[in-house]
Structure 1
Amino acid sequence: MSKKSDIQQVQKHLVSLDGQSRRAFLRAMFYTAGAVGSASWLVGCGGGDSVQGDSLTPTPADPVTPVVPTPPPEEPGLVGRFADLGPLEDPDIYGVRSPAGFTTRVVAINNELPQPNGMAAASPTPGGIGNRPWHIFPDGAGVVPRDNGGWIYISNSEVPGIGSLGFTFPALSGLTNIIEQFTPGLAQVGTLVFDPDGTIVDSYTILTGTTFNCAGCVTPWKTWLSCEEFPNGQVWECDPFQAGEGLARPTLGFFSHEAVAIDPNERLLYLTEDMPDGRFYRWVPDPADWPEGAERAALQAGRLQVMAVGGDGVEGALTSPQPITWIDARNPHLPQNEHRIAESTAFDGGEGVWYFNGIVYFATKGDNRIWAVDIAAQTVEIIYDLATAEAPNNILSGVDNLFVTNQGDVLVAEDGGDMQIVAILPDRTLKPIVQVVGQDASEIAGVAFSPDGRRMYFTSDRGGRNGFGGFTNGLGMVYEVLLPDSL
């Protein structure tokens, strides 16, 4: 069979799978095939106001003072940026459905060099920007502002490796974790550098040699945290302002990392684990690692903790907030799937996580739920549950990446589902923002905004050209949507 026929057969099989099965299939396929700042909501994980400092060198420790919890500021009357959004119109030439007034362009396609004004719809354009074609399977992403008014879009590459087999087959994780240490991963993190007018002026890589990098986080000090999703995966800190390599941050734990969110007020990090029996974590820095008043955490020493839901438990969270406690992780320097704490609470497939206004939101794909952790009250509740949602709000499935606007909209990207980005408004009604059609083997991820909020970026992890001037299933692409002035 020809390579083209092989790809067509794989694409047909992918379309027949749901989002969770599709991911497992891709991991197995890649291994057996031999693929051995103006506002806080504009950054990649709700990490607070951007601050100066483009270096990974930790800020010297200030004198240690006791941490006094500060209650989050109240924001009464939030109605949501997308509350008055109109219906989605017919697909444009890029396969994107959006409301009236939205304009779409493609800014990156796998195996092609980015172009200054985006990618031509009909066919690849010779030449381009950067010295490496755009990576395959672009996934989680974020944006950092540049000093000249431009910005940098940062994009993970979700390429499986040997370690990923331990995710698909947990009984093998002990062996695959060992082999992974001696086998360089094929994932990477790439960038698109924009000038203030939206022209792409550069593209380079800031991390290579890792495995299955899913989501991550733009830090308040303008670095990028990239998460490896396999049982012995780590978090890597990268400098988005220049080509180079990231630094592993082992203090953040060893597990199938999906995403990170940072509460800069309480100086805490929150992390999701994408496994059926995954946990929800927080990282508490040692006092000298992130002293009060310091610009950044060194991310070298702290305590990894897991959440335990009390009261009426997880099911009670469907109807009212439930109390939570935190337990120090057992053997935090070892794979956590082998060192579970029975008293901690399992969450079925942790995905995106975001800090906003004293609340940490996170998604679990196995049960299609969106959770909200109230930091001051130390409670958790479910704000969206597909199984109990009633029309017209039962339009969200395959929950994955999250992004929260400064008006309180929780934007949820779908892995499968209807290939939509859906906004959960502050009143908990739902609004579809965009939908990608003709790419049913793909998923949406990488939601981020330019610093002025006018341009929304997202990926189709497994979208690509169809050879006839349109787009279909492929190896990944990045969209930009220009929002109307009314938003």
Structure 2
Amino acid sequence: MERRTFLRTAAIGGSAAVLGGTLWRGAAYAAPAQPGTGPYGALGSPNANGIRLPAGFSSRVVARSGQTVSGTSYTWHNAPDGGACYADGTGWIYVSNSEINPSGGASAVRFSAAGAITGAYRILSSTRQNCAGGKTPWNTWLSCEEVDRGYVYETDPWGVQAAVRRDALGRFKHEAAAADPVRKVIYLTEDETNGCFYRFRPTTWGNLSSGTLEVLVAGSGTSGPVTWATVPDPTGATATRNQVSGAKRFNGGEGCHYADNTCWFTTKGDNRVWQYNAAAQTIELAYDDSLVTGGAAPLTGVDNVTGSSSGDLFVAEDGGNMEICIITPNDVVAPFLRIDGQSSSEITGPAFSPDGTRLYFSSQRGTSGSSSGGITYEVTGPFRA
């Protein structure tokens, strides 16, 4: 069953119709994505940047760790990680975290309407191991600390307003965040081998200073209905994942992306892409490398995830063979790009420009395998709308 078909069925018939009376099963109701021919075709030979792309696509280097961003006086940070794009008048801004502990933080690059770099600057300093995060509907960047009892910092992509620590979103090993403007919640992943999936309900939508942190509660399988329970103590004096009986465990929560009543998130410990249907309050697997049939799994080392306007998911690999893979709405998974010669790195921070014509991402450790060797790229081409 296609993901869109599943969502339609859930919306029309409710969760009972989708589940057919069965509560939890060991496998998804819809078969997870399987390898096939992607919408952009085969990858070509490595270009000058060592990136294999489909025909019609090109790449450029935007920034390198420890080096001045072209046309600016700003030195790009080490270990670039999660990122997002923001419309800026006629141009746009790309925000990128720094997964360094201590002194992680985040930086931004500003682009003109033609894609020329017009500025670069710091937007968050003196934080720890800022891994992924998420964009809010009110155009701030939630930068997440991937450390024990880590915080979420709300930052200004324009670098004008000071960053604010948002204690109410809980203290745990934060990975990524995704905003759901329909239900007015923020979804949060946790990078622990027995981590959980959370949502935060602000007292006032658009203001993250107060609200309720909840954890997903469900059965032991991979598909079925879920509920949410309040985390009694978001300060994490007792680990948030251990405060609610029946909280569902996920093996190493990573990227998180919301669109069309669905929140997709990845778990690196078992190479899975999950989808939470927020309308029906159910979860299922969108991808599981152990359930791939008829050949080798094209996507391994799942990590950051983003989506395009066409409904395609773009999942970056931490390890694997350094690919960004695409999962289409009809459940086909295929490589979109591959970086050669950087096997000691990982791909991070995929995000589309506001017009959907450019994809930004980083190789966190580049060719050197060191956090000081990070490279941030832009890919331009005929992305489908």
TM range (shorter): 0.7 to 0.9
Mapped pair 1:275 → 2:192: yes
Rounded Cα–Cα distance in structure 2 between residues aligned with 1:486 and 1:207: 34
Rounded Cα–Cα distance in structure 1 between residues aligned with 2:227 and 2:354: 36
Cα shift at 1:394 = 1.6
The answer for the alignment partner of 1:479 in structure 2 is 377
The answer for the alignment partner of 2:208 in structure 1 is 299
Amino acid at match of 2:130: N
Mapped pair 1:385 → 2:283: no
The answer for the alignment partner of 1:261 in structure 2 is 178
Rounded Cα–Cα distance in structure 2 between residues aligned with 1:284 and 1:269: 7
Larger helix share, 1 or 2: 1
Rounded Cα–Cα distance in structure 2 between residues aligned with 1:335 and 1:279: 16
Cα shift at 1:100 = 1.1
The answer for the alignment partner of 1:106 in structure 2 is 61
Contact in 2 for aligned 1:369/1:384 (Cα 8 Å) = yes
Rounded Cα–Cα distance in structure 2 between residues aligned with 1:225 and 1:403: 15
The answer for the alignment partner of 2:103 in structure 1 is 186
Q: 2:86 aligns with which of 107, 128, 144?
A: 144
Q: 2:99 aligns with which of 158, 169, 188?
A: 158
Contact in 2 for aligned 1:255/1:335 (Cα 8 Å) = no
Rounded Cα–Cα distance in structure 2 between residues aligned with 1:435 and 1:299: 38
Q: 1:222 aligns with which of 124, 139, 159?
A: 139
Rounded Cα–Cα distance in structure 2 between residues aligned with 1:485 and 1:141: 19
The answer for the alignment partner of 2:129 in structure 1 is 212
Amino acid at match of 2:189: T
Distance 1:363 1:203, change over 3 A: same
The answer for the alignment partner of 1:164 in structure 2 is none
The answer for the alignment partner of 2:250 in structure 1 is 347
Cα shift at 1:242 = 2.4
Mapped pair 1:328 → 2:230: yes
- Cα offsets for 1:170-206 (capped at 9, x unmatched): xxxxxxxxxxxxxxx3102111110011110110000
Contact in 2 for aligned 1:231/1:337 (Cα 8 Å) = no
Distance 1:241 1:336, change over 3 A: farther
Contact in 2 for aligned 1:393/1:429 (Cα 8 Å) = no
Alignment of structure 1 residues 335-484 onto 2, 5 Å: 335=237, 337=239, 340=242, 341-391=244-294, 394-464=297-367, 475-484=373-382
Rounded Cα–Cα distance in structure 2 between residues aligned with 1:485 and 1:206: 29
The CA RMSD measured in Å over matched residues stands at: 2.0
Contact in 1 for aligned 2:198/2:213 (Cα 8 Å) = yes
For structure 1, the 5+ residue unaligned runs are: 1-70, 73-81, 117-128, 161-184, 291-296
Cα shift at 1:243 = 5.1
Rounded Cα–Cα distance in structure 2 between residues aligned with 1:385 and 1:103: 30
Cα shift at 1:342 = 3.1
Q: 1:93 aligns with which of 48, 56, 60?
A: 48
Rounded Cα–Cα distance in structure 2 between residues aligned with 1:213 and 1:88: 32
The answer for the alignment partner of 1:53 in structure 2 is none
SS in 1 for 2:110: strand
- Cα offsets for 1:345-389 (capped at 9, x unmatched): 110000001111001110000000010111111100011111111
Distance 1:474 1:436, change over 3 A: farther
Rounded Cα–Cα distance in structure 1 between residues aligned with 2:216 and 2:382: 41
SS in 1 for 2:373: coil
Amino acid at match of 1:263: D
Contact in 2 for aligned 1:460/1:477 (Cα 8 Å) = yes
Distance 1:113 1:270, change over 3 A: same
Cα shift at 1:424 = 0.7
The answer for the alignment partner of 1:54 in structure 2 is none
Contact in 2 for aligned 1:438/1:472 (Cα 8 Å) = no
SS in 1 for 2:123: strand
Contact in 2 for aligned 1:85/1:431 (Cα 8 Å) = no
TM-score (norm 2): 0.87
Contact in 1 for aligned 2:191/2:254 (Cα 8 Å) = yes
| Aligned residue pairs, count | 350
Contact in 2 for aligned 1:231/1:336 (Cα 8 Å) = no
Contact in 1 for aligned 2:66/2:372 (Cα 8 Å) = no
- Cα offsets for 1:208-251 (capped at 9, x unmatched): 00001011111111111100011111110111112564100001
What is the percentage of aligned positions where both structures have the same residue?
41
Alignment of structure 1 residues 95-134 onto 2, 5 Å: 95-116=50-71, 129-130=72-73, 132-134=74-76
For structure 2, the 5+ residue unaligned runs are: 1-10, 13-36
Amino acid at match of 2:150: G
Amino acid at match of 2:299: L
Amino acid at match of 1:360: C
- Cα offsets for 1:380-409 (capped at 9, x unmatched): 001111111123572110000010112211
Distance 1:472 1:104, change over 3 A: farther
Rounded Cα–Cα distance in structure 1 between residues aligned with 2:240 and 2:179: 26
Amino acid at match of 1:269: I
Rounded Cα–Cα distance in structure 2 between residues aligned with 1:204 and 1:248: 20
Rounded Cα–Cα distance in structure 1 between residues aligned with 2:186 and 2:240: 22
SS in 1 for 2:78: coil
Larger strand share, 1 or 2: 2
